[in-house]
Amino acid sequence: MFKKLTLSVAMALGLAAASAFAADIPDSLKLERELQSLSWQRFRSVVEGIPKLRAEVDRHGQFGWQYVRANYRTYPWKKNIDRLDPDQKLELALLIQKARTARTTSPASPAGEQAQRSR
């Protein structure tokens, strides 16, 4: 009886830990929206930081990045984000957060991009 009770408690704790971990994994659709909301420079730096996403762009050959630049705000990134493992999704969320909170005077910011264009 004690063995069954111990096993039941262990299983319950395991399920609770697994569900808590699952709650920490960001939603792919939310990550897609946040990724698409970044400026081009910040978007590219985030995608280059996740090997599976970078590989998806690189597999389109020399015009891959040109196509992505023209369409990154409407391209369905969710499919590619769904293919990431939980650790990669967490890394993506962290990179997006870092990109969003980067100094606004950096060249990757809209003001910085405009200043670079005017040169």
Nearest 5°: the CA angle 5, 8, 10 is 110
Burial 6-24 (b: 16+ CB within 10 A, else e): eeeeeeeeeeeeeeeeeee
Distances (CA, A) of 114 to 17, 99, 106: 47, 18, 11
Cβ-based burial of 118 (10 A; exposed 0-12, middle 13-18, buried ≥19)? exposed
Is the confidence at residue 83, as pLDDT, over 70?
A: yes
Residue 15 pLDDT > 80 = no
* pTM of structure: 0.66
| Helix-helix angle 86-101:28-36, to 10 degrees | 30
For residue range 98-111, list pLDDT tens digits in order.
Answer: 999 886 545 555 55
pLDDT above 70 (res 17): no
What average pLDDT is seen over the chain? 78
pLDDT, one tens digit per residue, over 19-28 is 444 557 889 9
